[in-house]
Amino acid sequence: MPPSSEHWSLVVAGGGPAGFMAAIAAAEAGLKRVLVLESTPEPLGKVLISGGGRCNVTHACWDPRELVGSYPRGGKALRGPFSRFAAGDAVAWFDEHGLELVEEPDGRMFPRANRSTAVIQCLRRAAAAAGVELRTHCALQGAQVRPEGGFALQLRGGAAGSEALRGTLTAERLLLATGSHPSGRRLAQSLGHGLVAPVPSLFTLAFKPNPLVALAGVVMDPVDLELELDLDQGAGPPPPGMPHRFRQQGPLLITHWGLSGPAALKLTAFAARALHHCGYRGSLRVDWSGGRTQPQLEQLFADCRCDHARRQLSNARPWPALSRRLWQHLLDQQGVEPERRWADLGKRQQQGLIESLRRSTYAVTSRGPFGEEFVTAGGVPIGEVNLATMESRCTPGLYLAGELLDVDGITGGFNFQHCWSSGWLAGQAIAEAAAQRAAAIN
């Protein structure tokens, strides 16, 4: 562990995507003596596991005005930062550092190598080339503002099974990029910041009992979802202005415990705080038809009676993309024999099937067990940070970036994009501030 006399221009607490980007940006802009502290054995752990091991680096959304719409927390406040460094800038940055990103049909962007280790190698090479020092098994435990400026930092670390090591060092500037780890929030609070209580975001919806359990693995696209919550049933009165109804559309995956897939994850991201308030209970209406109107569905049924009059209902779905298993489930639900011919489908039975396709309702009872639980809503309020530089408005010389802030995006690479943007802006601002100070002294 370093001696107490060791001094750094910048110490970055957290070796994740925001921390690495900030350290690299500062060092490449000319800042010397940049140190990254990572409490785990290996940095960039979330990068490694994201996207099923492929790492969804960003999203092909090039207009900052459109991009901010993918952030339930952050919203319009991010237009300024994204106007300076957004998805196109991230793609160019990685390309300049030897990593080509490829766009998939849904807009997600992955490394051409199709593995997250390529992203990690790119960032670690860039950091090493810029002169950034990395120390693993080393956590920032405390930070105090020094009377003469800068920070006195207390460290703790040591490999698993070894005696804990302790030490101190000083830094001209400190960047907190600790993600959703509670230690980072405690550090921010100790340095004068408030905290929006963190709650889970981007998770699946669970039904108990699950009436769709036999359909596990079925994917429908698109599906319309409408979630209605009774806020008065929550623990205490709801915050003023909290919405109780949320809508989303997109691909939906039926699981053993409920519903997942992009549509469900987006829905829970925007409803994260309201769902938490209600104990993750509510009423979910599912439009399996993808937004088709009553007349449109009636026409599809009429076409089937004409074109498939002698075929059994189970063998001829109203439209080809309707899952065969889901269609069979809806027939059973309405008490319609699957062997019945289309020509023999009664009007009342037809209306029941159309109603099920448009307005199936399920009781949400909890969160699913395999949601994207490493994403949280909450953290340091963005109003306490100068978003042009990511410098704290409470403590000069302190910077904050990434998921530590009360900013989170929907699934699809948006959370990483905020890390790249906030990290790059912080690194640039830190290097510029250091250069201005040096010029003033000289």
Kindly list the averaged pLDDT for each block of 10 residues, start to end, along the chain of length 442. Answer: 70 98 98 98 95 95 97 94 98 98 97 98 98 97 96 82 64 97 96 96 94 98 97 90 96 96 95 96 97 97 96 96 98 97 97 98 89 76 98 98 96 96 98 95 82
| 351 part of a folded domain | yes
Amino acid identity at 357: L
Predicted local confidence at residue 166, as pLDDT: 64
pLDDT in tens, 239-295: 999 999 999 999 999 999 999 999 999 999 999 999 999 999 999 999 999 999 999
* Beta-carbon count within 10 A of 107 CB: 14
Same domain, 170 and 229: no
Report CA 189 to chain centroid distance, whole Å.
23
Residue 100 domain-assigned (yes or no): yes
Q: Are residues 434 and 346 in the same domain?
A: no
- The pLDDT score that the predictor gives to residue 162 is 38
pLDDT of residue 168: 86
**Residue 1 is assigned to a structural domain of this protein:** no
**pLDDT score for 234:** 86
Same domain, 218 and 276: yes
| Whether residue 32 is found in the same domain as residue 179 | yes
CB-count burial class (<10 Å; 0-12, 13-18, 19+) for 158: middle
pLDDT at 163: 41
Task: Identify the pLDDT of residue 368.
Answer: 85
pLDDT in the model for residue 437: 92
Clarify whether residues 165 and 249 are in a common domain.
no
66: domain CATH number?
3.50.50.60
Same domain? For 189 and 335 the reply is no
Rounded to whole angstroms, the Cα distance separating 9 from 22 reads 13
Residues 6+ apart with CB under 8 A from 91: 58, 101, 109
- pLDDT at position 2 is 43
271 shares a domain with 410:
no
* Three-class HEC string of the chain: CCCCCCEEEEEEECCCHHHHHHHHHHHHCCCCCEEEECCCCCCCHHHHHHHHHCCCCEECCCCHHHHHHHCCECHHHHHHHHHHCCHHHHHHHHHHCCCCEEECCCCEEEECCCCHHHHHHHHHHHHHHHCCEEECCEEEEEEEECCCCCEEEEEEECCCCCCCEEEEEEEEEEEECCCCCHHHHHHHHHCCCCCEEEEECCCCEECCCCCCHHHCCCEEEEEEEEEECCHHHCCCCCCCCCCCEEEEEEEEEECCCEEECHHHHHHHHHCHHHHHHCCCCEEEEEECCCCCCHHHHHHHHHHHHHHCCCCEHHHCCCCCCCCHHHHHHHHHHCCCCCCCEHHHCCHHHHHHHHHHHHHEEEEECEECCCCCCCCEEEEECHHHEECCCCEECCCCCEEECHHHECCECCCCCHHHHHHHHHHHHHHHHHHHHHHHHHHHHC
pLDDT, position 176: 98
Q: Which of 328, 347, 371 is the last residue of a domain?
A: 371
**Distances, alpha carbon 310 to alpha carbons 307, 343, 441, in Å:** 9, 6, 90
| Structural domain ending residue among the three candidates 371, 402, 418 | 371
In this structure, the answer to whether residues 36 and 102 fall within a common structural domain is: yes
Contact 136, 15 (CB under 8 A): yes
Q: Buried b / exposed e across 12-39, counting CB within 10 Å, b at 16+?
A: bbbbbbbbbbbbbbbbbbebebbbbbbb
Residues 162 and 82 in one domain: yes
- Based on the fold, state whether residues 193 and 222 are members of the same structural domain: no
Q: Is residue 19 part of a domain?
A: yes
Q: Give domain status of residue 140, yes or no.
A: yes
Our count of domains for the chain comes to 2
Classify 171 in phi/psi space as left (phi over 0), alpha (psi -120 to 50) or beta: beta
Share of the chain above pLDDT 70, in %: 96
As a whole number of angstroms, the distance between CA 100 and CA 291 comes to: 37
Q: Which amino acid is at 339?
A: E
pLDDT at 308: 96
Among positive and negative, which fits the CA dihedral 63, 88, 263, 302? positive
Q: Is residue 2 part of a domain?
A: no
Give the domain range for residue 426: 7-199+373-441
- Average model confidence (pLDDT) across the chain: 94
Number of neighbours of residue 243 by Cβ within 10 angstroms? 12
The verdict on 317 and 277 lying in the same domain is yes
Q: Are residues 263 and 365 in the same domain?
A: yes
User: Looking at 353, 371, 389, which one is the last position of a domain?
Assistant: 371
Contact 419, 22 (CB under 8 A): no
